[in-house]
Structure 1
Amino acid sequence: DAPLRFVKGAPDELLRQCSAFAAAGGEPVALTDTGRRKVRSRARRMASAGMRVLAVAYGRSGAMVFAGIVGMEDPPRVGVTHAVAELRRSGVRVVMITGDARETAWCIAQRVGIVNADLGDRDVLEALSADSLDTETHGPQMAISGEELETMHPKTMPQAVAEAVVFYRVAPRHKLMIVKALQGRGEVVAMTGDGVNDATALKAADIGISMGRSGTDVAREASDMVLVDDDFSTICVAVKEGKGIFANIRNFITFQLSTSFAALAMESIATLLGLPSPLNAMQILWINIIMDGPPAQSLGVEPVDGKILAAKPRRASDPIVTRALMRRVLTSAALIVFGTLRVYFHELEDGAVTRRDTTMTFMTFVNFDLFHAYACRSSDTPIHRLGLFSNPAFVWSVGGSVAGQLAVVYFPPLQRVFQTEALSCLDMLYIVMLGSSILVLDYLRKQFFPGYFGDARETPFEGSRDSSKLRVKSPAKMNKSPMPLPDIEFGGGEEEAWAGGRQAGKGVA
């Protein structure tokens, strides 16, 4: 006799191979079309509850005997729902790819927030009467199967892939198809995975992210980044850090360019007018090395406000120096030049350049500089909303700069080096009040002209409605246990993760 075979797999696939089913007593009974519909209906109900549905059958040769279906729950890991919501708030669109049936994938995607709640259960329940487990479309948020990907026309595939939120019943080759389709639209693709069959897609993606604990060596080698703790929420931290670093780089550049433009313009104007230099060489070196250095460096560790974190992902081709940044630079530099030269011209009324003249000019320029550093802590948040002590590094650097400046003006040995002299309290009060005027300018820019001077209000993406989307594949169905279980293969499908990019994007989070 032929050996007895026991088979497990996807219900639809096994039903095609079965001509009978095992009755209550164990004897084979002919499997009719009505029986097949009942099995599919029950499988759909189990799948729509978020279960993985596995069919089992047995037989010796030829047609098989259908033995039944088994539902296994593989719940989302703790924290995934919060991470998905946080990513979506920051302009990242999360989608999921899996080897499971549509209903299972859609239910899990709804649970973790990938699919809008008002589209999930209603559409799944309406589809329960259909025979196939893989034939319904859930409203405007599409779900695409691996088989559908293979039959799509190459010209329509990129658009269909860009609009999908769930990919189901996929094989390893489909992941690479998805990545290539999105990259063909000019999008940046980020993908997470942990298996050997993820390696090609991880390598092809612009940002490959593998799992450090449960991931295979092949996946880790193919990826650009490894999540050591296998925690999807770590990606949220990376997105925040990336946006924060980029915003702080812009703030740093704003401060440095404003100071440099102001110093260059001030010296140029004095030269064109045939006047002596407002600052001597030692004072200029002091400003560039000591006064600008520590405050500028501390801007790099400035905590980023929620407005920046909630901004859409930017294009990788977006310039660091934007029009809004240059407007801030030029207006700040103009005020610094105007205020400093006003003091210089006033002190030159006697016709001779004295130590007091250069000291007053020097002190005015430095005060403008320090107040401007405070204004550059954010490109959009008004100064009264910035926490005075929220950046300890900035407080210490500015405090050290003030102490050093006072020493240069009032400490006799340094007075000889920098050619300065002590100023009166009234002089210092006047200089502080004049220097603080740059805070007024900054307040007016942020409060009344945010769209003209602020980076967060600029729209980095124009054109297609998909242009702001960065997709990240979610390991939403990893086990809740502290050590995640590896993916388990059912009927040729595996739970995977994928992330796509943005239209015309060339953009990163």
Structure 2
Amino acid sequence: GQGYHTQGDIFDGDSRASPAALRDVLLPLALCNEARLDRGQLIGDPTEGALLALACKGGLDVAAELAQAPRVAELPFDSEWKFMATFHQIGDMVQIHVKGAPDVLLARCRDVATDLGPLLLDEEWRQRMLNQNGQMAQQALRVLAVARKLIPASAFDRNADLLTYVDELELLGLVGLIDPPRPEAREAIALCRRAGIKVKMITGDHKLTAAAIAHELGLEGEAISGDELDGLTAQQLQQRIGQIAVFARVTPEHKVRLVQTLRGAGHVVAMTGDGVKDAPALKSADIGVAMGITGTEVAKEASSMVLADDNFATIVNAVSEGRTIYDNIVKFVRFQLSTNVGAILSVLSASLLGLPAPFTAIQILWINIIMDGPPALTLGLDPARPGIMHEAPRSRDQAILGWHRFGRLALYGATMAAGTLALFVYAQAAGRSEQYAHTLAFSTFVLFQFFNIFNARAEFGSVFNASLFRNVRLWGAIVAVLLLQLLVVHWRPAQQVFATTDLLPKDWALAFAVASSVLLLDEGRKLLQRHWPARRG
């Protein structure tokens, strides 16, 4: 059968298995279960849904079975005892159905069901079952044991401690389930590794099962169980946690301890969870991520964000988006500051050199409007640059403006100021009018921003890469600003407002050439840096 549909068959090798032969082992799967199936749709936990579908495909009529043996009490699954038990009234007897971790139930079983009837679960049988459990776990199967017990109704008190009744059980068999990792999960984990993000699996499954699944996913490192974790001191765990990739058979307390240990080592920790008991660990992590589909309301309330599709790959995509957003914020800040530094240095240097101010007040206002507007804002829409997920995470203490970065911004500003003033002096020396000199300096500074915005886009790699033309809005803004600048310089009504005059074509060409120097000089710096790497900041 397929999915959670109840139609299907169970095969023993090449032949169809007899429903009667499977009844004893399938009955606990159907009755010790909280899930419901409705026309192939699951209501409840996926694991319990799979077990219920298996029982139905084995020929059990769940509704009829519950009518004959109504549930009178239950012991919900708990990570402390690692099994679930339900109690059913059958005449003057109460039958207990149990499913849970094989190693735990084996310790509570006295007998084992065989073709010859119940036999004593001696050491030989116990070892056979443990070996079978290990073999199934190594195939990445999540293994559950099922057991039962029959007691007189007169000896049962539903208000008593139900845990005391779950002993001297009869072991019925082992059931293996597999939840194949999503195809994109392995690729997402590989991308995390390249991005310097360590992924650790924390699960309640058997250690061998967890290790097999981790191997399929490409997780590299040791696997330890909750019992082994209990045997480690805080110092030992901190020393080993970097080499451990899988933590199996863990309790909620273990999860909190792992989060706190990783944070104590200076890591930024994101924790995923869906259950009520995951809430403390979700709250302890830097970023708690609850499952949106299978997650409980308690888990969602305790988390920082909710994963709508319960897909690990979506978390990795969110990391990429986050890095891109931060990267674009840095681009915006670098562009804005370098523009302002250039304008300040231009005006200040002119005063120190005894020159008139290169811009009028209205021209400075125009520079701020057109360059702080659409071109700067479209930097925030830049796509992720190549290799953004191949870099190690930045330190949480890293400032947006380090000394190295601020030094580069000062260099950009100085280049723009020098070029602007050079053409301002050139126009005066050539006998042009003061209005012409102002117009040439003004236009040169605006053109500097066209080239400088590409410096902001690519701080370390060359701007001439595959992403050069990907931000269509940025190119649209640049073209629009260029057309507006031509309008300001050559349209008569605008000339009266901005105190500009027509520029000669050769002076436009000269302004473009000088303005491009800020880009060419920075491309030279980055070329040298690739050959002689310097510290980035």
TM-score range, shorter chain: 0.7 to 0.9
In 2 relative to 1, CA 212–290 (structure 1 residues): closer, same or farther, beyond 3 Å? same
C-alpha separation between the residues in 1 aligned to 2:432 and 2:170? 109
Please report how far the alpha carbon of residue 399 of structure 1 lies from its aligned counterpart in structure 2 after TM superposition.
Answer: 0.9
1:347 maps to which residue? 427
**1:180 correspondence with 2:180:** no
Structure 2: 5+ residue runs without aligned partners? Answer: 1-91, 151-164
- 1:113 counterpart (199, 218, 223): 218
**1:48 correspondence with 2:138:** yes
C-alpha separation between the residues in 1 aligned to 2:266 and 2:429? 62
Please report how far the alpha carbon of residue 188 of structure 1 lies from its aligned counterpart in structure 2 after TM superposition.
Answer: 1.7
**1:66 correspondence with 2:156:** no
Deviation per residue, 1:126-172 (Å, 9 max, x gap): xxxxxxxxxxxxxxx22222222333212222333343211100112
Q: Contact between 1:325 and 1:453, CA under 8 Å: does it hold in 2?
A: no
| 1:213 alignment partner, SS class | coil
- 1:90 counterpart (189, 195, 201): 195
Which of structures 1 and 2 has the larger relative contact order (alpha carbons within 8 angstroms, sep 6+)?
1
Number of residues of Structure 1 aligned to a counterpart in Structure 2: 431
C-alpha separation between the residues in 1 aligned to 2:430 and 2:129? 102
Structure 1: 5+ residue runs without aligned partners? Answer: 116-140, 461-509
When structure 1 is superposed on structure 2, of 224-233 and 378-387 the one drifting more is 378-387
Please report how far the alpha carbon of residue 420 of structure 1 lies from its aligned counterpart in structure 2 after TM superposition.
Answer: 0.9
Q: Contact between 1:259 and 1:333, CA under 8 Å: does it hold in 2?
A: yes
What one-letter code is carried by the residue in structure 2 that aligns with 1:47? Answer: A
C-alpha separation between the residues in 1 aligned to 2:476 and 2:178? 54
Deviation per residue, 1:260-305 (Å, 9 max, x gap): 1111112111111222111111111111122342211111111122
Pairwise CA RMSD of aligned residues?
2.4
C-alpha separation between the residues in 2 aligned to 1:388 and 1:85? 27
Greater Cα radius of gyration, structure 1 or 2: 2
2:204 maps to which residue? 99
* Superposed counterparts of 1:273-288, under 5 Å: 273-288=353-368
Percent identity, please.
41
Deviation per residue, 1:38-62 (Å, 9 max, x gap): 2222211100001111223344686
In 2 relative to 1, CA 342–183 (structure 1 residues): closer, same or farther, beyond 3 Å? same
Q: Contact between 2:385 and 2:467, CA under 8 Å: does it hold in 1?
A: no
In 2 relative to 1, CA 451–234 (structure 1 residues): closer, same or farther, beyond 3 Å? farther
Q: Contact between 2:118 and 2:170, CA under 8 Å: does it hold in 1?
A: no
C-alpha separation between the residues in 2 aligned to 1:304 and 1:14? 52
C-alpha separation between the residues in 2 aligned to 1:276 and 1:353? 13
Deviation per residue, 1:163-200 (Å, 9 max, x gap): 32111001122111111222222322111111111111
1:148 maps to which residue? 228
Please report how far the alpha carbon of residue 201 of structure 1 lies from its aligned counterpart in structure 2 after TM superposition.
Answer: 1.2
**1:12 correspondence with 2:103:** yes
C-alpha separation between the residues in 2 aligned to 1:22 and 1:354? 105
2:127 maps to which residue? 37
2:53 maps to which residue? none
TM-score normalised by L of structure 2: 0.75
- 1:313 counterpart (393, 397, 417): 393
C-alpha separation between the residues in 2 aligned to 1:378 and 1:350? 37
2:380 maps to which residue? 300
Q: Contact between 1:254 and 1:328, CA under 8 Å: does it hold in 2?
A: no
Q: Contact between 1:146 and 1:168, CA under 8 Å: does it hold in 2?
A: yes
TM-score normalised by L of structure 1: 0.79
| 1:306 alignment partner, SS class | coil
1:125 maps to which residue? none
* Superposed counterparts of 1:353-502, under 5 Å: 354-450=434-530, 458=536
* Superposed counterparts of 1:161-240, under 5 Å: 161-240=241-320
Deviation per residue, 1:69-112 (Å, 9 max, x gap): 22222222343223222222322221111111111001111112
- 2:117 counterpart (1, 11, 26): 26
C-alpha separation between the residues in 2 aligned to 1:218 and 1:57? 32
- 2:336 counterpart (256, 264, 283): 256
